[in-house]
């Protein structure tokens, strides 16, 4: 069979490919099928044809895989928020574990490493403690809305559709956040529409309403509402804030972040408190943290506790060790490790995160953690410390090669590497492989129904 663009073909989906697409074979080449599950037989249209591979879109599901489940969200398959709702959760976990193991083998040259079954998230819906909804003047329509005259196309408050930057699905309820957030979102939408002020055009860069960010404290079951706008307008915002506080007793506070920067980032150039408290308190394990609208905080509080427990176990501390925590953020890992360490030194580049980390230590009565603000590349070069254990938790890009080189010079007996990107984890472990043995890797699922997976690796110095 010769596969051509535009052609409709019957395909047996045999596996899952990187990025979560179904993998089929036709004409001796790989065909990636969006939304397909291994075990499906589908009629699909070829939408892209390259030399080595093709891409296809499902026209009809001829025979569903036994691993398919009904997606509970009506936006599933269109929304970019999560794309794996149609796959049974145990299968998601198995694919995530396999992805970590295969990436370590293929990218890092590290086969034969024990990669444990992924730690499951629980619950698998309503787990996100922070959601950012975009406001725009161009609405992406669901298939059933296409011919409806009553659907206004010039306004949406919701989530992006993959591959579009300016169009947004108007989302009435997102199943990834606790359900009480959806009523708040609905009331905000109604009030935004009544305000007479325009939504922000992601193409035109004109308009007022930009984002609605909702943060939830699991420990207190309270919400912080952050209205992100392109300018200040107290007359419009103050009554809305009071209205929200009056209507929802679980709202702790409402703030306004203001930014006229074109970048689609929901962080204000400045913040104005509008009503109630501008901060939330939440817990990870036994520790309490104060979170403002712009603080970094793990977005799944329950799963973060599982992640940090793994770090704690892999660090193997007995109260005598000096620990160095690279990329320390708001100090959550140092605080978690503090009871079992002699001393923890954290290094972090964002000044506000370092300030949060110091405050979080005070709040929790932790006295043996110290934080250095700066770029790890520079700070590490001049650091006078002989750590027994180094924890690293870099951003998706992984560690800079200079940091890896300096880590090899420091030569701690043990390294615990926390990663949100298996590809850079594999690359960095490969760079450390002459001096360190990867003893075990524990994937931890923090984001059910997405392809993302965190992994914690324990490295032991060889000599």
- Minimum separation from the CB atom of position 428 to ligand SAM (A): 14
Q: Is 388 in the site for ligand SAM (CB under 6 A)?
A: no
Is 395 a binder of ligand SAM (CB under 6 A)? yes
Q: Is 398 in the site for ligand SAM (CB under 6 A)?
A: no
339 contributes a contact to ligand SAM by CB under 6 A: no
User: Of 170, 393, 428, 445, which one interacts with ligand SAM (CB under 6 A)?
Assistant: 393
Q: Minimal distance in Å, beta carbon 416 to ligand SAM?
A: 11
Does residue 350 touch ligand SAM according to CB under 6 A? Answer: yes
Residue 197 contacts ligand SAM per CB under 6 A: no
Please, are residues 170 and 158 in contact by the beta-carbon 8 Å criterion?
yes
Q: How far is the CB of 334 from ligand SAM (least distance, A)?
A: 9
Q: Which is nearer to ligand SAM, 33 or 293 (CB)?
A: 293
**Residue 376 found at the interface with ligand SAM (CB under 6 A):** yes
- When binding is defined by CB under 6 A, the residue of 375, 381, 402, 437 that contacts ligand SAM is 375
- Angstrom CA distances, 343 to 286, 336, 364, stand at 19, 12, 16
Please state, as a whole number, how many other Cβ atoms lie within 10 Å of the Cβ of residue 12.
16
Nearer to ligand SAM, 76 or 360 (CB): 360
Q: Judged by CB under 6 A, does residue 347 bind ligand SAM? A: yes
Residue nearest to ligand SAM (CB): 329
* Residue 369 interacting with ligand SAM (CB under 6 A): no
Check binding of 333 to ligand SAM (CB under 6 A): yes
Q: Can residue 296 be called a binding residue for ligand SAM (CB under 6 A)?
A: yes
What's the closest the beta carbon of residue 289 comes to ligand SAM, in angstroms? Answer: 10
Residue 414: beta bridge partners? 389, 460
Burial of 189 (0-12, 13-18, 19+ CB in 10 A): buried
| 298: contact with ligand SAM by CB under 6 A | yes
Q: Pattern 245-274, binding to ligand SAM, x per CB under 6 A?
A: ------------------------------
> How far is it, in rounded angstroms, from Cα 61 to Cα 137?
34
Q: By CB under 6 A, is residue 353 in contact with ligand SAM?
A: yes
Query: By C-beta, is 329 or 412 nearer to ligand SAM?
Result: 329
In the complex, least distance from residue 354 CB atom to ligand SAM, rounded to whole angstroms: 9
| Positions 313 through 332 that interact with ligand SAM (CB under 6 A) | 327-330, 332
Supply the minimum distance, in Å, between the C-beta of residue 311 and ligand SAM: 9
Contact call for residue 349 and ligand SAM (CB under 6 A): yes
Can you give the three-state secondary structure of the chain, one letter per residue? CCCCCCCEEEEEEEEECCCCCEEEEECCEEEEEECCCCCCEEEEEEEEECCCEEEEEEEEEEECCCCECCCCCCCCCCCCCCCCCCECHHHHHHHHHHHHHHHHHHHHCCCCCCECCCECCCCCCCCCCEEEEEEECCEECCHHHCCCCCCCCCCEEEEECCCCCCCEEECCCCCCCCCHHHHHHHHHHHHHHHHCCCECCCCCCCCCEEEEEEEEECCCCEEEEEEEECCCCHHHHHHHHHHHHHHCCCEEEEEEEECCCCCCCCCCCEEEEEEECCEEEEEECCEEEEEECCCCCCCCHHHHHHHHHHHHHHHCCCCCCEEEEECCCCCHHHHHHHHHCCEEEEEECCHHHHHHHHHHHHHCCCCCEEEEECCHHHHHHCCCCCCCEEEECCCCCCCCHHHHHHHHHHCCCEEEEEECCHHHHHHHHHHHCCCEEEEEEEEECCCCCCCCCEEEEEEEECC
Stretch binding ligand SAM (CB under 6 A), from 171-179, 341-349, 364-372, 432-440:
341-349
298 or 338: CB nearest ligand SAM? 298
95-134: contacts with ligand SAM (CB under 6 A):
none
Closest approach of Cβ 419 to ligand SAM, in Å?
9
Q: In the complex, what is the shortest distance from the CB of residue 298 to ligand SAM, in angstroms, rounded to a whole number? A: 6
Catalytic (active site) residue 79: no
Q: What residues are labeled active site?
A: 420
Interface positions with ligand SAM (CB under 6 A): 296, 298, 327-330, 332-333, 347-350, 353, 375-376, 393-395
């Amino acid at each position: 069979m010769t596969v051509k663009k535009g052609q409709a073909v019957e395909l047996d989906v045999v596996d899952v490919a990187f990025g979560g697409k179904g993998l089929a074979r036709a004409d001796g080449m790989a065909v990636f099928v969006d939304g397909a599950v291994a075990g499906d037989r589908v009629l699909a249209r070829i939408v892209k044809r390259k030399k080595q591979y093709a891409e296809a879109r499902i026209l009809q599901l001829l025979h569903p895989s036994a691993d398919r489940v009904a997606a509970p969200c009506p936006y599933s398959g269109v929304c970019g928020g999560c794309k794996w709702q149609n796959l049974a959760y145990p299968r998601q976990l198995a694919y995530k574990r396999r992805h970590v193991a295969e990436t370590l083998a293929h990218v890092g040259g590290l086969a034969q490493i024990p990669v444990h079954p992924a730690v499951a998230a629980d619950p698998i819906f309503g787990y996100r403690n922070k959601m950012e909804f975009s406001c725009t003047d161009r609405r992406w329509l669901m298939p059933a809305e296409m011919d409806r005259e009553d659907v206004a196309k010039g306004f949406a408050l919701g989530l992006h559709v993959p591959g579009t930057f300016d169009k947004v699905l108007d989302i009435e309820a997102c199943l990834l956040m606790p359900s009480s957030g959806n009523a708040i979102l609905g009331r905000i939408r109604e009030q935004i529409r009544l305000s007479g002020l325009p939504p922000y055009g992601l193409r035109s860069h004109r308009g007022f309403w930009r984002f609605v960010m909702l943060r939830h404290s699991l420990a207190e079951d309270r919400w912080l509402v952050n209205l992100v706008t392109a300018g200040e307008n107290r007359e419009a915002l103050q009554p809305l804030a009071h209205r929200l506080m009056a209507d929802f007793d679980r709202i702790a506070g409402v703030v306004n972040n203001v930014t006229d920067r074109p970048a689609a980032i929901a962080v204000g150039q400045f913040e104005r408190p509008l009503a109630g408290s501008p901060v939330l308190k939440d817990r990870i394990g036994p520790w309490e943290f104060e979170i403002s609208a712009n603080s970094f905080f793990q977005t799944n509080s329950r799963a973060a506790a599982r992640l940090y427990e793994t770090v704690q176990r892999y660090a193997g501390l007995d109260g005598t060790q000096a620990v160095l925590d690279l990329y320390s953020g708001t100090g959550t890992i140092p605080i978690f490790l503090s009871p079992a360490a002699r001393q923890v030194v954290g290094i972090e580049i964002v000044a506000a995160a370092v300030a949060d980390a110091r405050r979080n230590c005070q709040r929790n009565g932790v006295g043996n953690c110290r934080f250095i603000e700066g770029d790890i590349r520079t700070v590490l070069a001049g650091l006078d410390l002989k750590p027994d254990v180094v924890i690293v938790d870099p951003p998706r890009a992984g560690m800079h090669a200079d940091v890896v080189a300096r880590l090899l010079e420091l030569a701690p007996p043990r390294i615990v590497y926390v990663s949100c990107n298996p590809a850079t984890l594999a690359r960095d472990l490969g760079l450390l492989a002459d001096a360190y043995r990867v003893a075990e890797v524990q994937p931890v699922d923090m984001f059910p129904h997405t392809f993302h997976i965190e992994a914690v690796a324990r490295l032991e110095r060889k000599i």
